[in-house]
Amino acid sequence: MTNTPTPPLTSRPAWRALAAHHEAIRDVHLRDLFAADPARGTRMTATGASIFLDYSKHRASPQTLELLFALARECQVEERRRAMFAGEKINITEGRAVLHTALRAPRDARIVVDGVNVVPLVHEVLDRMRTFTDQIRSGAWRGFTGKRIRNVVNIGIGGSDLGPEMAYRALAHYSQRDLTFRFVSNVDPTDFAEATRGLEPAETLFIVSSKTFTTLETMENANAARRWLLAAIGDEKAVASHFVAVSTNGPGVEKFGIDTANMFGFWEWVGGRYSMDSAIGLSTMLAIGAYAFGEMLGGFREMDEHFRTAPLEQNLPVIMALLGVWYTDFFGTQTAAILPYDQYLARFPAYLQQLIMESNGKSVTLSGARVTYATSPVIWGEPGTNGQHSFHQLLHQGTPLVPADFIGFLSPLNSNGRMYELLMANMFAQAAALAFGKTPEEVRAEGTAEALVPHRVFEGNRPSSVILAPRLTPATLGTLVALYEHMVFVQGVIWDIDSFDQWGVELGKTLAVSIARDLDPGVETPPERDSSTNGLIERFRAARDS
Ligand code: G6Q
């Protein structure tokens, strides 16, 4: 793909039509949309890869959807989707293909990048991961002193941490419970101290996960891990049995002292935030086993196929993406909530924060022009029902409009009395209450004193999607992640931005390095920065020296 300038988004016919249509529909209440169309709740649903999406509680009429699908076509979503799956270099600012879909391609598939079929490479790494996983889980792999590995600590940050930790928690039900998993990301020494607290070094394996193997936080934590291990074992040779690496940087791994035989590779065409199903998922495979990891890949693949082949009108990622654009760009919403009604998905909102905001938090089009419309909303969320006892207040009665995704499962992994039914009842009730609210008449009919009526009215008309899957399994997790990956892709295409670079993150990787020199013990030369930063540096030095 080249970065040929495309017509500005806001001058596309469908965009203009949507703007005019928004004037007409913006005050229409969901109560009236439902009253006018009794079949709405069943009609505005779609199913793909065993995920059911109810999008009837969105402030959209059939005409809205028609215009949104027209916009998708005008923006060439289908053509761009083909280009992504084909391995064209759609990440134009880095000149890279975007091929996380190849990570779950079947063995006999063929996807060519720069003349090389990458599918056999993917499967070669998967096979090595499987062998290693079986060795750890069976106890065949021993630590330096001959003890079995009982603890696995993944060291990584951003895309090399959020996916593995989210997946570990999401799939804890399927994990080998006599293995302990911990995750260290922050350069704050507290993170390492707490993650290794109580662990026996001779039984601990570190996975250093870093695409570049240069990331400051990860390298510092990896060095801390080596010191921690050697302080207990006292022999450099122990590193070989207690460290493995996941990286694209062989020389960097070797320099650290990890045998490249114990390195699991991936490729530049896998973005960090799209890498949880690559070797970056080694901790996931160790936790749930190679078979279940394969099931997870199967779930990803199912959603890939749905996204690749379903008509736009029935395509889950497309529908969700377009509704997101509708709110962000026409209703002016600035945030969106992700509300999984499943405790295992506690880290899913954090994972999606990175996936969505790092991908589409951009303000320049592919051809380098400043955008004249809003792009990614701020993503936030917590599992239900906990959120109901805190921030749902704002969702129901606050001034901002916040579209929400409710995510739930039809059958539980843990049952106890009627607790699961209550969980799901709460989810359905919240979505309905947000949509339909409670009118002053309904509040009065409850016998509420007149002075309190305004406080107890819920205006409703607050949109949400309900996403239901049969059960939280490794496969379902794969389909859910792929659903959002492809949603992000479609939004990026509409907004005409590069969803696959992250120059804002790169900046953070270099900024602190020079200030760190000013904080080194013994450095007393006055800092020569802005007066605020100078003051902060001086204050830190003074506290340290006292
Ligand atoms: C992800 C980002 C970023 C990255 C981390 C870790 O898409 O690029 O979150 O994953 O900065 O990078 P390394 O894996 O190279 O250490």
463 lines ligand 1 (CB under 6 A): no
pTM above 0.75, yes or no: yes
Percent of the chain at pLDDT exceeding 90 = 95
Q: Each residue of 35-84: pLDDT tens digit? A: 999 999 999 999 999 999 999 999 999 999 999 999 999 999 999 999 99
Q: Each residue of 114-124: pLDDT tens digit? A: 999 999 999 99
| 7, pLDDT greater than 90 | no
Q: Which of 237, 389, 450, 524 is catalytic?
A: 389
Q: Each residue of 192-235: pLDDT tens digit? A: 999 999 999 999 999 999 999 999 999 999 999 999 999 999 99
Q: Each residue of 481-513: pLDDT tens digit? A: 999 999 999 999 999 999 999 998 888 777 788
Q: What is the pLDDT of residue 6?
A: 72
| 263, pLDDT greater than 70 | yes
The average confidence (pLDDT) of the chain is 96
| 91, pLDDT greater than 90 | yes
Q: DSSP letter at 531?
A: H
Q: What is the pLDDT of residue 186?
A: 98
Q: What is the pLDDT of residue 5?
A: 57
Q: Each residue of 399-411: pLDDT tens digit? A: 999 999 999 999 9
Q: Each residue of 315-330: pLDDT tens digit? A: 999 999 999 999 999 9
Q: What is the 3-state secondary structure (H, E, C) of 318-381?
A: HHHHHHHHHHHHHHCCCEEEEEECCHHHCCHHHHHHHHHHHHHCCCECCCCCECCCCCCCEEEC
| 276, pLDDT greater than 50 | yes
211 lines ligand 1 (CB under 6 A): yes
Q: In 10 A of CB 429, how many CB atoms?
A: 12
| 145, pLDDT greater than 50 | yes
Length of the chain: 546
pLDDT band at 154 (very low <50, low <70, confident <90, very high): very high
272 lines ligand 1 (CB under 6 A): yes
Q: Encode burial over 152-177: b for 16+ CB neighbours within 10 A, e otherwise.
A: bbbbbbbbbbbbbbbbbbbbeebbee
Q: What's the whole-number mean pLDDT along residues 528-540?
A: 95
215 lines ligand 1 (CB under 6 A): yes
Q: Which of 165, 295, 302, 358 is catalytic?
A: 358
Pocket test for ligand 1, best of 161, 165, 215 (most atoms within 8 A of CB): 215
Angle between helices 282-309 and 316-325 (to 10 degrees): 80
Percent of the chain at pLDDT exceeding 70 = 99
1 or 71, which is more confident: 71
Q: What's the whole-number mean pLDDT along residues 298-315?
A: 98
| 129, pLDDT greater than 50 | yes
Q: What's the whole-number mean pLDDT along residues 242-268?
A: 95
Q: Residue 298 and residue 482: Cα distance in Å, rounded?
A: 11
Q: What is the pLDDT of residue 182?
A: 98
- Is the peptide bond preceding residue 196 cis, with omega within 30 degrees of 0? no
| 2, pLDDT greater than 50 | no
Distance 159 CA to ligand 1 centre (A): 5
Q: What's the whole-number mean pLDDT along residues 304-321?
A: 98
Q: What is the 3-state secondary structure (H, E, C) of 107-126?
A: CCCCCEECCEECHHHHHHHH
Residue 248, amino acid: T
358 catalytic per annotation = yes
Q: Each residue of 420-440: pLDDT tens digit? A: 999 999 999 999 999 999 999
Distance 500 CA to ligand 1 centre (A): 12
| 3, pLDDT greater than 80 | no
273 lines ligand 1 (CB under 6 A): yes
Distance 3 CA to ligand 1 centre (A): 25
